[in-house]
């Protein structure tokens, strides 16, 4: 039985940084995630003139309800989709000229649904190269607000960026969603907005956000449920027990539902008030599961799928094709190189039982591919990675941390 201290949630940390920057007063974030993505987000805020003081376990942000403290800035968002999608919306609610760029990987990822919505709200915004992609420049003069339609079927982050910005508009926002993915992430957004004092409601596909801003808050960041999936999967795969404190019945993050998939496959799962425990039983059954709402854990399941006693079919995960890489295809490619039979379609992957061969995993610069196949490496000694350092995006110490867990378990 091993207690696994998982780092703070990337999703919660990014939202908390936005909310704290927009709030009236000084907010303190407790146990935020320290990673390349969150560091990039915090640096982006600093570049926009916000006062961000970062300690080892606490970050203090002095909010500016009126928007950035500078009237001109050039912000580099690294690989962070949250920074590349949230910060332009935050800046648009202020006054000045703000340019946003990112890594080549992030430049390939779309921002069009968000920037189209901002333009409909009257924001002067220009894509410098490919339409719908970074780099982009925002000439901000506040946002009046109003009613818009949004397609969030590729990423819920487009909706989250607009929701977070809603209280900063003069008249509030009414957003009708025509398509949506990863709904639990939207629920995180709504809960956190309310914690920071905003008034936001949902009626079916329509979200209504009242104007009025945010108030400063002390906010504890819960452990990252997507990261926890690797340790839960490792326990299920190896017949050991992993306990993750801080993720229980009151957790905000939908990715905790990954343990329900492991339960269906045969693992023992207990979700308590303050922790979740997964124990492997020595068997994994085949399963068919739709993972649209927990798609960040799709690679975790795909990597361990060959060890099930029947096919594992993962459905409704088209949005994984527009993440850091085409995750669906990256999983299929690596599994085939390991000698595993795999079929894929536009939004699904089916993986058949087999004994994976040790190969060098092609990470495609994607932290989730690296961490997922590291878990499968428990049963495939000799597995290596072409880019092990890509885990810095969310968990820089992952490989050392995971090696410590392996040593405790003797696997």
Can you tell me the distance from the alpha carbon of 43 to that of 35, in angstroms, rounded to the nearest whole number? 12
Residue pair 244/256 in contact by the 8 Å Cβ criterion: no
Can you tell me the distance from the alpha carbon of 408 to that of 363, in angstroms, rounded to the nearest whole number? 26
DSSP-based three-state secondary structure for 345: coil
3-state SS string over 295-325?
HHHHHHHHHHHHHCCCCEEEECCHHHHHCCC
**Residue ranges with strand state E in 22-64:** 23-24, 26-30, 51-54, 58-62
Give the closest residue to 31 by CA, choosing from 56, 60, 62: 56
Catalytic-role residue among 296, 316, 326, 366: 296
Residue pair 352/342 in contact by the 8 Å Cβ criterion: yes
Can you tell me the distance from the alpha carbon of 372 to that of 172, in angstroms, rounded to the nearest whole number? 41
Catalytic annotation present for 296? yes
Show which residues are catalytic: 296
């Amino acid at each position: 039985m091993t207690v696994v201290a998982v780092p703070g949630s990337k999703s919660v940390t990014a939202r908390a940084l936005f909310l704290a920057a927009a709030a009236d007063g000084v907010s303190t974030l407790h146990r935020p995630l320290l990673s390349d993505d969150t560091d990039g987000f915090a640096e982006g805020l600093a570049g926009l003139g916000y006062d961000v003081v970062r300690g080892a376990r606490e970050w203090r942000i002095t909010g500016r309800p009126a928007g950035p403290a500078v009237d001109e800035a050039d912000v580099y968002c690294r690989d962070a989709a949250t920074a590349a999608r949230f910060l332009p919306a935050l800046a648009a609610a202020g006054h000045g000229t703000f340019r946003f760029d990112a890594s080549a990987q992030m430049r390939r990822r779309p921002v069009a649904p968000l920037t189209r919505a901002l333009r409909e709200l009257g924001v002067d915004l220009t894509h410098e190269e490919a339409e719908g992609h970074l780099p982009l420049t925002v000439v901000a003069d506040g946002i009046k607000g109003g009613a818009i339609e949004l397609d969030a079927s590729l990423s819920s982050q487009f909706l989250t960026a607009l929701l977070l910005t809603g209280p900063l508009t003069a008249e509030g926002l009414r957003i009708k969603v025509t398509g949506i993915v990863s709904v639990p992430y939207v629920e995180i957004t709504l809960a956190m907005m309310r914690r920071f004092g905003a008034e936001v409601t949902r009626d079916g596909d329509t979200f209504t956000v009242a104007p009025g801003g945010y108030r400063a808050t002390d906010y504890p960041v819960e452990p990252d449920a997507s990261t926890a999936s690797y340790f839960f999967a490792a326990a299920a795969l190896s017949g050991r027990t992993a306990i993750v404190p801080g993720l229980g019945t009151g957790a905000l993050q939908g990715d905790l539902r990954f343990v329900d998939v492991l339960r269906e496959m045969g693992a023992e799962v207990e979700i308590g008030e303050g922790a979740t425990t997964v124990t492997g039983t020595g068997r994994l059954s085949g399963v068919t599961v739709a993972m649209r709402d927990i798609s960040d854990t799709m690679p975790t399941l795909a990597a361990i799928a060959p060890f099930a006693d029947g096919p594992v079919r993962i459905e409704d995960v088209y949005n994984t094709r527009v993440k850091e890489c085409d995750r669906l295809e990256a999983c299929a490619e690596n599994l085939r190189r390991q000698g595993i039979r795999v079929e894929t379609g536009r939004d699904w992957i089916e993986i058949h039982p087999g004994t994976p061969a040790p190969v060098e995993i092609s990470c495609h610069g994607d932290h989730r591919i690296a961490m997922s196949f590291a878990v499968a490496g428990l049963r495939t000694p000799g597995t290596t990675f072409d880019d092990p350092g890509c885990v810095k995006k969310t968990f820089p110490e992952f490989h050392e941390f995971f090696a410590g867990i392996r040593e405790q378990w003797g696997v």
